[in-house]
Amino acid sequence: MIPTSCPDRAETARLSAAMLLEVGAVNFNAAEPFTFASGLRAPTYIDCRRLIGFPRVRAALMDFLAATILRDAGYEAFDVIAGGETAGIPFAALIAERLALPMAYVRKKPKGYGRNARIEGVMEPGQRVLLVEDLATDGGSKLSFVDAIRETGATCAHTAVIFSYGIFPETPRVLGEHGVTLHALCTWRDVLVEAEARQAFDAETLAGVRAFLDDPRGWQKAQESAATD
């Protein structure tokens, strides 16, 4: 069934943040920050993969995301839904089902044998492709997927995610310069507000997260300096 309506943007963001908290996808730890693959540290970590294990939450968020895409990009804006390997694949399948569109997925790098493909599924020149992922940080990781889609002769001007960090000012610029518009249900600010309202974490932890969100680059530099002292 194609969703045709959803709550307004503010309520969608609040409900999405609440669901992420409810299923334990949100992790805050200011005392022992998380270390990412890039080596950077943060007191926040989001695990959207958990959502596939919660059918009711998964369905609600996918309805929200499908309706957001239709509202913001258009009802006849796409020909194919593509998921980014690996976390984006299940969500792309769910969105493709809701929008009654074909689905493909994009590998992070060529397969290495056989057709040596990066695109799995059917994607033709001239088709308009929506890239679906679980989340967006600074936007840079999306560009490789977008380029792989465009190499087929298809176009890709939009990417949709459940969660966007929303704290790096360069994100809209990075994506915009690449001709890509980002659509997301909620950000770290939305999650923090909901976490504070629910008292989901202790006050010291919430204060530490707020300090990070107010100046993420400065917070990370301070952590790096402390680690070398």
Per-residue pLDDT of 160-187, as tens digits, reads 999 999 988 888 899 999 999 999 999 9
Mean pLDDT of 105-110: 92
**Residue 142 pLDDT > 80:** yes
Mean pLDDT of 98-117: 86
Q: Pick the range with the lowest mean pLDDT from 106-115, 126-135, 193-202.
A: 106-115
φ, ψ for residue 215, nearest 5 deg: -155, 75
**Residue 212 pLDDT > 80:** yes
Q: What integer pLDDT is reported at residue 49 of this predicted model?
A: 96
**Residue 1 pLDDT > 80:** no
Q: Strand pairing of 41-42 and 34-35?
A: antiparallel
Q: Distance between CA 201 and CA 46 in Å, rounded?
A: 15
Q: Strand pairing of 103-106 and 119-120?
A: antiparallel
Residue type, 229: D
Q: What integer pLDDT is reported at residue 40 of this predicted model?
A: 72
**Residue 80 pLDDT > 90:** yes
* pLDDT, tens digit, 9 for 90 and up, residues 191-204: 999 999 999 999 99
Q: What integer pLDDT is reported at residue 161 of this predicted model?
A: 97
pTM to 2 decimals? 0.93
Q: Are 146 and 182 in contact (CB under 8 A)?
A: no
Domains and CATH numbers, the chain: 9-221 (3.40.50.2020)
Q: What is the 3-state secondary structure (H, E, C) of the chain?
A: CCCCCCCCHHHHHHHHHHHHHHCCCEEECCCCCEECCCCCEECEEECHHHHHHCHHHHHHHHHHHHHHHHHHHCCCCCCEEEEECCCHHHHHHHHHHHHCCCEEEECCCCCCCCCCCCEECCCCCCCEEEEEEEEECCCHHHHHHHHHHHCCCCEEEEEEEEEECCCCCHHHHHHHHCCCEEEEEEEHHHHHHHHHHHCCCCHHHHHHHHHHHHCHHHHHHHHHHHHHC
Q: What integer pLDDT is reported at residue 31 of this predicted model?
A: 87
When pLDDT is cut at 50, 70 and 90, the band that residue 116 belongs to is low
Q: What integer pLDDT is reported at residue 227 of this predicted model?
A: 65
* pLDDT, tens digit, 9 for 90 and up, residues 37-51: 666 789 999 999 999
Q: Distance between CA 174 and CA 126 in Å, rounded?
A: 24
Q: Are 9 and 71 in contact (CB under 8 A)?
A: no
When pLDDT is cut at 50, 70 and 90, the band that residue 107 belongs to is very high
When pLDDT is cut at 50, 70 and 90, the band that residue 112 belongs to is low
